[in-house]
A and B are shown apart, each in its own frame.
Chain A
């Protein structure tokens, strides 16, 4: 009995959170929609609220802002910053800038893929980690650099991966 109540309460909470998120999104769209060239701003803000930009959210933006859906999905698929799938709790960013690349960041990606059992761009089953390749993070002196969430790790070697991931 308690389980049922607990589940119902969780479902209710999830639903009202979702409703709040959607209301927030509608506010964002209303605020920006009359500014020309504001699509990227809208998508940026909406992704901050919703975490990612799945089809039903894209449709909401299309309808609200009066912009054709293919234009919206075109912008989203153009910029690596936008995601159409849920993002991990911790996004692991591996710098593939020139300095990091020559100091072996490719091997770091390979090791991460091996350890987490996913490819770059994918999400682990538990939603905890994803691997992203990024352009120069601006810390070339510390190459190779990776970020896990907001934490920065410098002069990373493949053998350090296990230890780093264990912290999360």
Chain B
């Protein structure tokens, strides 16, 4: 394009004169001018497929109706979205889609937030005119994701997000015509393959064909069982997302309301995974220093560098499948909610004077992979699961609605002590770069005795949503016990999403990675945009949620994990020291080589 200036194109839609950038589709042009055209398979920037035909419009002079998501505007184009022909055709397409759909909206969890339902309602469909044969109704329940193909509209957004955004390709269209289904192929289930359970496919599914595997019933049962002490903990990212389920703006911190809602749901203890996050920093930071010492000063133990974070269970499953020979790079630390669960059933159980078998731990997570993580055999102690049930942010919102709690008007309250106490460092744990920043705040101070030299303690180069971010700084004037680090330039990297992770891991596998410490989160943008978070129509929802996290952090008096008094007390009373024997027993883990096709569990 000449002059660096976007060329404008003039056209009319419904006799309204409009002017948009060249290359804009009719659908986008209409949207920019507040004209509604329904669309189902289209997803801006991710998926342009033209398969569902529900966005058809009438273009004067064109031989047929046009799928407005596929057709770029042209100078002088005359478009009618509401001609008789266009309106009837769209309605007919919708009716035909519905004819191959169970239409069980009343008992569907997606009701009220279903795109197909919304379109049918907007198009004025009041009866099911067509009845006939239906496509295969396969139901596949994995620990994290449930597929109900009877509801699938074959929009293929899930395929695009899995293949192009996450670079996995765990599912694709199988068979042909009326027998088409979306899945792993060869009659395999999600459990049989290399799905990471990141849940990004769920976030883009317009209907309830892809959803989290339900934990709500299990949690209600536990809550209503008087013999069980039910403890809940909430991940950092949940508080910056759940408000959207109740109409609050994206990024608004709902910490206080969330604590109140959980108390009204009759959980016995309302804890905060942020406590576990602070604890993770202490353990992971200590592990990192031990590795550095082993690598630089010939100390004992694992000297494998770079060390890579292990908080994201989707990422852990990804590396187990994709780079099974590189598992030594993963930190042995369990993720924050697992650490916290393990401690609730040991340290806190002792305080309560209860048998761990009478304690039920519920984690509320922005994540679907956490459900799988909770089922891993490594995540238990003396036969007791660390975490008994994992709810996604969306599931908790449904429970809050079901209990008739008026979330928006709740009074604010605090999480319970001791495991509800946390630092600002934990608040940013769910944002890409947040775990690394939290770790650096503590590491730098531990090693040099001085505060991390960044404005507002934010390590600016690793904030934001670039795919791969890096930072390095020289360690100088270190304390005597860390003299092996004097003059060392520490290099760190941060990535989120598996495309970035793959790029980083290719270098690691080739032995060419220049970094000492890498943070990886499975979902692009981090947990705030996790597969268990509320779906958002906003383009910048991740940005908004991360702003919420950073300002929550800045509002705290205590902003470094090592200054969390409850964590300090935990070490005094129970763990004694980081990486000590109790820590090894409860807070650290090992990983499983799985192979590209999940050979281990299949054969």
Which residues of A line the B interface, CB within 8 A?
A: 55, 58-59, 62-63, 67-74, 77-78, 84
B185 at the interface (CB under 8 A from A): yes
B186 close to A (CB within 8 Å): yes
- In the complex, which residues of chain A have a beta carbon less than 8 angstroms from the beta carbon of B183? 70
Q: Which residues of B contact A (CB under 8 A)?
A: 163, 168-176, 183-186, 193, 596-597
Q: Among B163, B175, B183, B185, which residue has the most Cβ atoms of chain A within 10 A?
A: B185
Flag if A69 contacts B184 (CB, 8 Å): yes
Which A residues are in CB contact (< 8 Å) with B163? 68, 71
A71 in complex: contacting residue of B169, B176, B186, CB < 8 Å: B169
Interchain CA distance A59-B169 in the complex, whole Å: 14
A70, B175: Cβ atoms closer than 8 Å: no
Q: Is the CB of B193 within 8 A of A78?
A: no
The CA-CA distance from A63 to B168 in the complex, in Å, is: 13
CA distance A58 to B184 in the complex (A): 12
12 A-B contacts (beta carbon < 8 Å): A62-B596, A67-B169, A68-B169, A68-B170, A69-B597, A70-B172, A71-B169, A72-B185, A73-B172, A73-B174, A74-B172, A74-B174
- Alpha-carbon separation in the docked complex, A73 to B597 (Å): 13
Chain A residues near B171 (CB-CB < 8 A)? 70
Q: What chain A residues lie within 8 Å of B172 (beta carbons)?
A: 68, 70-71, 73-74
Residues of A within 8 A of B173 (CB): 74, 78
Contact, CB under 8 Å: B596 / A58: no
Measured CB to CB, the nearest residue on chain A to B175 is A77
Known A-B contacts A68-B168, A68-B172, A69-B193; A74 and B597 likewise in contact (beta carbons under 8 Å) = no
Name the 6 nearest CB pairs between A and B, nearest first: A68-B169, A73-B185, A70-B172, A74-B172, A70-B185, A77-B175
Contact in complex: A77, B176 (CB < 8 Å) = yes
Pick the contact of B186: A55, A63, A67, A68 (CB < 8 A).
A55
CB-nearest residue of chain B relative to A78? B176
Nearest-CB distance from B142 to chain A (Å)?
A: 15
Chain B residue at minimal CB-CB distance from A54: B186
> Are the C-beta atoms of A77 and B185 separated by less than 8 Å?
yes
A63 CA to B597 CA, complexed, in Å: 9
- Shortest beta-carbon distance from A62 to chain B in Å: 8
> A78 to B170, alpha carbons, bound, how many Å?
17
B184 x A70 contact (CB < 8 A): yes
Contacts of A68 in B (CB 8 A): 163, 168-170, 172
Most chain A beta-carbon contacts within 10 A, residue among B170, B174, B186, B596: B186
Which one of A59, A67, A70 lies within 8 Å of B174 (CB-CB)? A70
Return chain B residues, CB-CB under 8 Å to A78. 173-176
CB distance from A40 to the nearest CB of B (A): 14
Complex: A50 Cα to B597 Cα, angstroms: 21
Q: Which residues of B contact A62 (CB under 8 A)?
A: 596-597
Q: How far is the CB of A165 from chain B (nearest CB, A)?
A: 30
Complex Cα distance A59/B192, Å? 13
Q: Is the CB of A70 within 8 A of B169?
A: yes
Chain A residue nearest in CB terms to B179: A77
List B contacts of A59 (CB < 8 A): 596-597
Scoring A69, A70, A74 by chain B CB atoms within 10 A of each residue's CB, the highest score goes to A70
Contact check, A69 vs B185: say whether CB atoms are below 8 A apart.
Answer: yes
Closest-by-CB residue of A relative to B169 is A68
Contacts of A67 on B, CB cut-off 8 Å?
A: 169
CB distance from A146 to the nearest CB of B (A): 24
CA distance A107 to B168 in the complex (A): 47
In Å, the complex CA distance between A165 and B193 comes to 43
Task: Tell me, rounded to whole Å, the shortest Cβ–Cβ distance linking A96 to chain B.
Answer: 15
Using A58-B186, A69-B186 as known contacts, list a sample of 7 further A-B pairs with CB atoms less than 8 Å apart, ordered by residue number in A.
Answer: A55-B186, A59-B597, A69-B169, A70-B174, A70-B185, A71-B169, A73-B185
Question: Within 8 Å CB of B186, what residues of A?
Answer: 55, 58, 69, 73, 84
Q: How far is the CA of A94 from the CA of B264 in the complex (A)?
A: 68
Residues of A within 8 A of B174 (CB): 70, 73-74, 77-78
Name the A residues within 8 Å of B185 (CB-CB): 58, 69-70, 72-74, 77
Alpha-carbon distance between A91 and B172 when the two chains are bound, in angstroms: 30
Contacts of B169 in A (CB 8 A): 67-71
Which chain B positions have C-beta within 8 A of A74? 172-174, 185
Looking across the interface, which residue of chain B has its beta carbon closest to that of A58?
A: B186
Q: Which residue of A lies closest to B170 (CB)?
A: A70
Query: Whole-angstrom distance from the CB of B247 to the nearest CB of chain A?
Result: 38
